[in-house]
Amino acid sequence: MVAFTRFLQALLCAFALTKHGLSAPTNNRTLVLEENDSLAKRAVPTEFRLDDFKKTAGSGSGNSATYYAVYPLTSADTEITQPQLEDLARKAYDVLKVKYTNGNTLLTMEFVPKVALVIANNPHSRDAGDRIVSLGNQRVKKWFNIFSTRQSQNQGKTSDELLHCEDHATVRAGAEYARKMGLENGMGPSAKFPKKTRAATWGKYRANDASELKPPCDSWCKDMLLKMGVEWT
């Protein structure tokens, strides 16, 4: 009888709210999701931890280490706006920067709709750079062909000197895209990311630089992102 009375009271309360154009109160979990601009509803991470980041194979330690993180998404995770992505990139940088003296690193966050949110920083050693290039050669052929042209025009420079965080993120995102789509041979030489794939870069070029949102660092990066179908503005 008590339970039925409470049910009746709740029903009358909801009716009264509706009558006056109001909504019934939601629980705390729903409020939190709404405050996160619906990102958390779609399983898009809104906070990051050091444990999320993996060290790139061949990477050194301390300031020589190179990191990445991949957050798989579902078919419901359709889009992130550029301002949202830029804010998430800032949050990720604030977590990863403790690994480097004066926070001296750059990271790119790349969002591939329905596939993954990927974070990767610039390679801090030649071994890490070589591993990234090798992965690109195996799984993201179009990127590798673009990079090979850059390499041929910069003889004598090592992979870590030529690679940027945009390259690292694009290779990781491409490898995840190939895995998710079941592409046994990876993304082919003419493949591009799906529409509304976007990227944002945050961090420092050097120790005395300000940590802030950065544009693609040069014409090579802009050209590569454009050819791969990645938006950055």
What confidence score (pLDDT) does residue 21 get? 40
Predicted local confidence at residue 121, as pLDDT: 97
User: Rounded to two decimals, what is the model's pTM?
Assistant: 0.82
Query: Can you give the length of the chain in residues?
Result: 233
- Please name the residue that has the structure tokens 């990271």: 107
Q: Give the residue among 163, 226, 162 at the shortest CA–CA distance from 198.
A: 226
3 state SS for 92-155: HHHHHHHHCHHHCCEEEEEEECCCEEEEEECCCCHHHHHHHHHHHHHHEHHHHHHHHHHHHCCC
Cα distance between residue 153 and residue 101, in whole Å:
32
Provide the 3-class DSSP secondary structure of residue 217.
coil
The average pLDDT across 162-172 equals 98
Share of the chain above pLDDT 90, in %: 71
Average pLDDT, the chain: 85
Q: Which residue has the tokens 């870069």?
A: 201
> What pLDDT score does 57 carry?
82
Give the model confidence (pLDDT) of 39-81 as tens digits. 655 568 889 999 999 999 878 889 999 999 999 998 766 678 9
For residues 96 and 105, the answer to whether their CB atoms sit within 8 Å is yes
Q: Are 93 and 104 in contact (CB under 8 A)?
A: no
| Cβ partners under 8 Å of residue 204, min gap 6 | 102, 103, 104, 105, 106, 210, 211
- State both tokens at 223: 């050209």
For the sheet containing 106-112, what is the strand order?
Answer: 54-55, 67-72, 116-121, 106-112, 198-203, 212-214
